[in-house]
Chain A
Amino acid sequence: MQSSEVISVNIWQMIISILNLLILYAILKKLLFKPVQNMLVQRQNIIKTNFDNAKLAEAEAEKSKKLYEEKLGQADTEAAQIIKDAKQKAERKSDKIIQNAKDKADGIVSQAKTDANLEYQKVQADIRNEITQVSTMLSEKILEREINTDDHRKLIDSFIENLGDDYDSDQ
């Protein structure tokens, strides 16, 4: 088996070596660098779209949050208004009811007073009549004579008046 010298220069071998290097360069470029580069670009695109989507979603969320807050604020004021209205209404109603009740009670009291007065006067008149009649009959019987009724009545009336005065002053 032949061997080449330790230091030998051969142009063809050098050319083959250059071609070898160029072939390996082509292999690395086409089969290693290009696919990896493509993959990186693809990954970048995916990340970019994801990022954009996230940004969009964030903006949307912000928007709906604002809307929600606005609505919430509106509802708050509305509720406060409703409560205030209801309170006023209830107050008015209760005032009215109380007033009504007061009026009614006053009416009842005054009615009762007048009724009592009337009754009192009626009773007074009745009693006066009764007494007059009774005393007239008594005196007729006692005296057994006819007396002038009118004179008699006047007499008794004055008597009763005195009685009534006594009664009144006793009270």
Chain B
Amino acid sequence: MKKRKYSAKFKAVDAFLIACMILPILFGIMLYVMFTPESSGIEISGARIYFTLNTPVQPLPITESQVNSWIVIISVFFLCLYLTHGLSATNPTKRQHIVEWALEQTKKLVSDNMGEFFDEFAPFVAAIMMLSAFSSLITLVGLYPPTSDLNVVGGWALLVFVLITYYKFKCGAVHYLKSFAEPVAFLTPLNVISEFATPVSMAFRHYGNILSGSVISVLVAASLQELSKIIFGKLPGFLGSIPFLQIGLPAVLSIYFDVFSGLLQAFIFAMLTMLYISSGFPEEDYKAKLLKKSAVKANT
């Protein structure tokens, strides 16, 4: 395969798209720096509120988690444009190979876990994975991860719950209600509880993992600072003010909590979404229903 020559215009567009990917993140960091109060003690709190809108039912605070989510979405938007820039059927670019491989893997994952019927779900699963993963990874540049806000993850879980219920309703309301009395009738209350526990558990699992990661990171960093003050505080001059013990361990913890845990939770959330939706969907009954319908249509 001959090497592809890039024109100046192509390179310029590439540079513009990469800049558009990075700029929102820089904007988020700037916002964070501007709004961070001077005193920084040990503080475990939720997202900072930039301003509050007066909306019915409940006032809507625009917080870091919202803004950071939008930053992620804008960055992913330009990432998509960058990845699909210069797609070619005959002469693929390097990034095209990566995109093709990634999309193939996603489609394979979806069709393996959900079956043929749910092939259309690949973009949705990819969206969940990317939003969750990038929201968690945004901590790497020092921003507040939206996934450690219960509202954000709760919203996703709610959407998944709606989808689960929608696919359970595909065979009609009677079929849906009957499914609660299975396998035995007296288990109905438990089934109802587990039905509502699904989104709650999904939301709390994801949110709790990310939040606990940052809480532990903060605690460890703070305790190491205190410890190094006790041990090295007697050193002369400015040497005494350097927290030597903070070198090393927090970075390792960050790799675990920010990168590994974030990616793992994104994967788990996407897997659970696929499994809940496909297992709740009575595929065979639905097919039987479709067959019956077509038979009726053929008769009339």
Contact = CB atoms under 8 A, between A and B. Distances in A.
- Chain B interface size band reads 35 or more
B45 interface: yes
A21 B66 contact: no
A1 B49 CA distance: 7
Nearest to A22: B159
A39 B146 CA distance: 34
- Band of interface residues on A: 35 or more
B76 A4 contact: no
Contacts of B58: 10-12
A13 B149 contact: yes
A142 interface: no
Say whether chain B's binding surface is mostly helix, strand, loop, or mixed.
Answer: helix
Interface in B177-218: 211
A143 interface: no
B70 interface: yes
Contact of B80 (A7, A11, A31): A31
B70 A20 contact: yes
Contact of A1 (B36, B65, B130, B153): B36
Nearest to B60: A12
Contact of B89 (A3, A11, A32, A39): A39
Residue among A10, A22, A36, A42 with the highest chain B CB neighbour number at 10 A = A10
A17 B151 contact: yes
Interface string B42-76: 00111111000001011011010110011001001
Contacts of A1: 35-37, 48-49
B150 interface: yes
B139 to A, nearest CB: 16
Contacts of B146: 17
B131 A2 contact: no
Pick the most buried of B44, B127, B156, B211: most chain A CB atoms within 10 A of its CB: B127
B60 A10 contact: yes
A11 B45 contact: no
A18 B156 contact: yes
B176 to A, nearest CB: 22
B63 A13 contact: yes
9 contacts: A1-B35, A8-B150, A11-B58, A21-B128, A28-B76, A28-B130, A32-B126, A33-B103, A39-B87
Given A4-B149, A6-B44, A12-B58, 13 more contacts: A1-B35, A2-B49, A3-B45, A5-B45, A6-B46, A14-B151, A18-B155, A20-B152, A24-B76, A31-B81, A32-B84, A32-B103, A46-B89
Shortest beta-carbon contacts, A-B, top 5? A17-B155, A13-B151, A43-B89, A12-B60, A4-B46
